[in-house]
């Protein structure tokens, strides 16, 4: 059975840039490394992290002064953090958040081979680093998954109950559904996001291009329909799989979302799990009964960390929370959950056109899931 799963994964998911777009200089001690072939910035730190699968992955942390939230970014299938470097730095700056990006096993200077299960271990290692090294709190973390990155993002989102929010950028319902118009989940499918997304408890923003020829826009729309707590989605007219960042609507809507998330009270701090060095930080995913796949019916869920530990431990950087305030919904029910469609009201200004702005491709022919950071520059009319 594993061979069939591996075949599906090989056909669909993983195209690491070869050769990697950056190099690494190892330090004498500790996890900290130096990235080469990328600009040096005082607010960026790179680390080599160990995963529970035995691989070592490269992660970069962008610190923003005064940031209240931290974004954990899982990139697409044909990029590495060397290509994503400037984009991640700009996202941190424009959204006013700390940000961690990481390379999957087998990508960039990370060891091992890419696989579905390895990506789950990879994002968990990055998450653990945020908690243990940088003092982040689960309730201050936003998960962001682009394309294949929606897989580890949805998996982690379904296991963590106090995340602040989730962003899905050109997401997939599942690996098999990208290749074939299947309506049911099969045991050999990978990244079964459509089954996991109902278990995500926090607000979810979905962004997808209407002209996506790699992952049809119907994937984003179906995932949004299955969200437990919906936020206004963004369907970018004319946007394809690799260029949504080039549209002014993208950064504008993302900033609006982050601002809304900052204003709402964080989840309760009750029943915080204590970190166990020998176990997962994550609860097992909860899958709705009407979408159980064959392999999910056979598997027994792991005991979660918070079920084994009675005394919670808080990070020293966690701020005091007001547990008395209920979590307000951000699904904009007063607007009848209307989606934000860039095509409904065309703007007259130059930077609001349906077509993306033309800009120099700073990453050359390897840029398949990376945009030019010039799209974030504020124009006279864009604000």
Q: Residue 266's pLDDT is what? A: 87
Q: Which among 80, 122, 195, 212 is annotated as catalytic?
A: 212
Contact 366, 259 (CB under 8 A): no
Q: Residue 360's pLDDT is what? A: 28
Name the strands in the sheet holding 23-26, side by side, starting at the edge strand that comes first in the sequence.
23-26, 32-36, 44-50, 56-62, 98-102, 70-74, 141-146, 165-169, 204-209, 234-236, 340-341
Domain count, the chain: 1
Tell which residue, 330, 144, 153, 127, has the closest CA to residue 244. 144
Helix or strand (DSSP H, E) at 235? strand 234-236
Q: Which among 161, 241, 253, 283 is annotated as catalytic?
A: 241
CATH code for position 184: 3.40.50.1820
Q: Residue 383's pLDDT is what? A: 40
Contact 153, 123 (CB under 8 A): yes
Give yes or no: 147 in active site. Answer: yes
pLDDT tens for residues 38-82? 999 999 999 999 999 999 999 999 999 999 999 999 999 999 999
**Is 88 inside a domain boundary?**
yes
How far is the first Cα of the chain from the last one, in angstroms, to the nearest whole number? Answer: 53
Instruction: Give the list of residues 6+ apart from residue 107 with CB closer than 8 angstroms, or none.
Output: 16, 17, 20, 80, 114
**Is 29 inside a domain boundary?**
yes
Q: Residue 8's pLDDT is what? A: 62
**Is 140 inside a domain boundary?**
yes
Q: Residue 280's pLDDT is what? A: 56
Q: Residue 11's pLDDT is what? A: 62
Q: Which among 147, 170, 174, 293 is annotated as catalytic?
A: 147
Q: Residue 323's pLDDT is what? A: 47
Beta bridge partners of residue 234, listed in sequence order: 207, 340
- DSSP code for 56: E
**Is 321 inside a domain boundary?**
no
Contact 220, 250 (CB under 8 A): no
Q: By residue range, what is the domain housing residue 215?
A: 2-268+282-300+335-376
Is the peptide bond preceding residue 78 cis, with omega within 30 degrees of 0?
Answer: no
- Alpha carbon distance 374, 358 (integer Å): 9
Q: List the chain residues with pLDDT less than 70.
A: 1-13, 268-383
- Alpha carbon distance 123, 110 (integer Å): 13
**Is 287 inside a domain boundary?**
yes
Give yes or no: 212 in active site. Answer: yes
Give yes or no: 161 in active site. Answer: no
pLDDT tens for residues 140-159? 999 999 999 999 999 999 99
- Alpha carbon distance 236, 239 (integer Å): 5
Q: Residue 12's pLDDT is what? A: 61
Burial 20-46 (b: 16+ CB within 10 A, else e): bbbebeeeeeeeebebeebeeeeebbb
**Is 329 inside a domain boundary?**
no
String of DSSP letters for 161-224: SS-SEEEEES--S-HHHHHS---S--TT-S--HHHHGGG--S-EEEEEETT-SSS-HHHHHHHH
**Is 224 inside a domain boundary?**
yes
Q: Residue 28's pLDDT is what? A: 75
Q: Which two tokens stand for residue 365?
A: 């022919």
Cα–Cα distance list, 22 to 58, 87, 109, 163, 276 (Å): 11, 15, 8, 31, 33
Cα–Cα distance list, 370 to 87, 231, 246, 321, 359 (Å): 8, 25, 10, 37, 13
**Is 67 inside a domain boundary?**
yes
């Amino acid at each position: 059975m594993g061979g069939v799963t591996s075949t599906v994964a090989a056909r669909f998911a993983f195209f690491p840039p070869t050769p990697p777009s950056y190099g690494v200089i190892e330090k004498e001690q500790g996890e900290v490394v130096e990235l080469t072939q990328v600009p040096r910035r005082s607010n960026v730190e790179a680390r080599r992290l160990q995963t529970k699968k035995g691989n070592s992955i490269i992660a970069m942390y962008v610190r923003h002064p005064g940031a209240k939230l931290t974004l954990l970014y899982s990139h697409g299938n044909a990029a590495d953090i060397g290509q994503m470097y400037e984009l991640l730095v700009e996202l941190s700056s424009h959204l006013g958040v700390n940000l961690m990006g990481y390379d999957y096993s087998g990508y960039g200077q990370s060891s091992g081979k890419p696989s579905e299960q390895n990506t789950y271990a990879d994002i968990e290692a990055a998450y653990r680093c945020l908690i243990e090294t940088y003092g982040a709190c689960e309730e201050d973390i936003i998960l962001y998954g682009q394309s294949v990155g929606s897989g580890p993002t949805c998996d982690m989102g379904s296991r963590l109950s106090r995340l602040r929010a989730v962003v899905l950028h050109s997401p997939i319902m599942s690996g098999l559904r990208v290749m074939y118009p299947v309506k049911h989940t099969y045991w050999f499918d990978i990244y079964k996001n459509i089954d996991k997304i109902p278990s995500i408890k926090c607000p979810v923003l979905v962004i997808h291009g209407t002209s996506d020829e790699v992952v049809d826009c119907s994937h984003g729309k179906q995932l949004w329909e299955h969200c437990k707590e919906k936020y206004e989605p963004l369907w970018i007219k004319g946007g394809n799989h690799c260029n949504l960042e080039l549209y002014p609507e993208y950064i504008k809507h993302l900033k609006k979302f982050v601002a809304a998330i900052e204003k709402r009270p964080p989840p309760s701090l009750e029943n915080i799990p204590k970190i166990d060095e020998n176990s997962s930080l994550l609860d097992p995913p909860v899958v709705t009964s009407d979408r159980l796949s064959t392999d999910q019916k056979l598997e027994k869920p792991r005991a979660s960390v918070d079920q084994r530990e009675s005394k919670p431990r808080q990070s020293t950087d966690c701020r005091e929370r007001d547990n008395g305030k209920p979590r307000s919904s951000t699904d904009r029910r007063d607007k009848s959950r209307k989606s934000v469609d860039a095509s409904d009201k065309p703007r007259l200004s130059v930077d609001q056109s349906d077509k993306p702005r033309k800009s120099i491709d700073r990453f050359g022919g390897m840029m398949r899931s990376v945009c030019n950071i010039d799209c974030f520059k504020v124009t006279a009319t864009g604000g």
